[in-house]
Amino acid sequence: MPLPKFAYLAPKSLSETCALLAQHGPNARLLAGGTDLLLKLSRAGQSPRFLVGLRNVPGLDYVRFDATTGLSIGALGLLSTVCEHDDVRRRYPALAEAAQATATVQIRNMGTVAGNLCNASPSADTATPLLVYGAEVVLHGPAGDRKLPLDQFFLGPGQTALGPGELLREVRVPVPAARTGSDYQRISERSQVDIAAVCASGLVTLDAEGRCIHARLALGAVAPTPRRVDDAERALVGAVIDEAAIARAAALAKAASRPISDARAGAAWRKQMVEVLAARAIRAALRSSGGRP
């Protein structure tokens, strides 16, 4: 199917970009890597009159780590850069695993983390690890920057908290505490490079005695938005995590999920896989923190 006709706009600054987005409103779409957007344009119902490209805006294509402030990913920071970055692999392994699991190497060399989030797919691979790491997004608009916790950014399938004329300028991820481990799990019935039918990320932090003092568990593709499971997290905190504790948390995750049936998987299968993947993610996070189930 041919692409619809559109005008391509190539601003050279953030202020010019925001002005164009505000000027054209719903008739404009922002183009970063384009791996999601161009696919949507080839289908019926997606026909913006303007594409606003970010490639000529300087200073957005970075992935960098600072021992004090943490990880920063610019609007044009590539998935391939994230999964190959030494500090990401060492300190944020769940995010590195999620970026590595996203589609194919060709897509990862074009697609951006910011685009993956702004697409607001319930199954976005990078969303659940960033949720468990406590990430925030920096949104830039006509009035300047504003910060928002990532768990407030997703409003629904394809819907975000971006306002008129705003773009996601940066993703910020704090430095994980000592004795913290994390993991990402995904599954699809069709293929390894298919969109995840279910995905889960887990994070645990232990004290010197091996007791859990901080826990996070997030699920994707089983609710309208990627989401954390508060009940499962509370069940882990304060305990020496054993197999019984992992099973309780995984069962709570299953109960909290609200999957649908679609072309990728049925709701009942998805709900069962939530319990399996949640347990795997917690167990692997515990191992990487230095603890043992």
For residue 154, what are the contacts with CB-CB under 8 A and spacing of at least 6?
120, 127, 160, 161, 225, 226, 227
What's phi and psi for 258, nearest 5 deg?
-135, 65
**CA 204 to CA 177: how far, in whole Å?**
10
Burial (CB count <10 Å: 0-12, 13-18, 19+), residue 262: exposed
Q: What is the pLDDT of residue 84?
A: 97
Does domain 180-289 match CATH 3.30.70.20? no
- The answer to whether 42 and 3 are in contact (CB under 8 A) is yes
* Beta strands at 50-53 and 198-206: parallel, antiparallel or unpaired: unpaired
**Looking at residue 1, what is its pLDDT?**
60
Main-chain phi, psi angles of 273, to 5 degrees: -70, -25
Q: What is the pTM of this model?
A: 0.96
Question: What are the residue ranges in the chain where pLDDT is below 50?
Answer: none
- List the domain boundaries for the chain: 7-53, 63-173, 180-289
Type of residue found at 203: L
| CATH architecture of the domain with range 63-173 | 2-Layer Sandwich (3.30)
Fold of domain 7-53: 3.30.43
Instruction: Yes or no: say if 197 and 170 are a contact pair by the CB < 8 Å rule.
Output: no
For 53-82, write each residue's pLDDT tens digit. 999 999 999 999 999 999 999 999 999 999
pLDDT of residue 45: 61
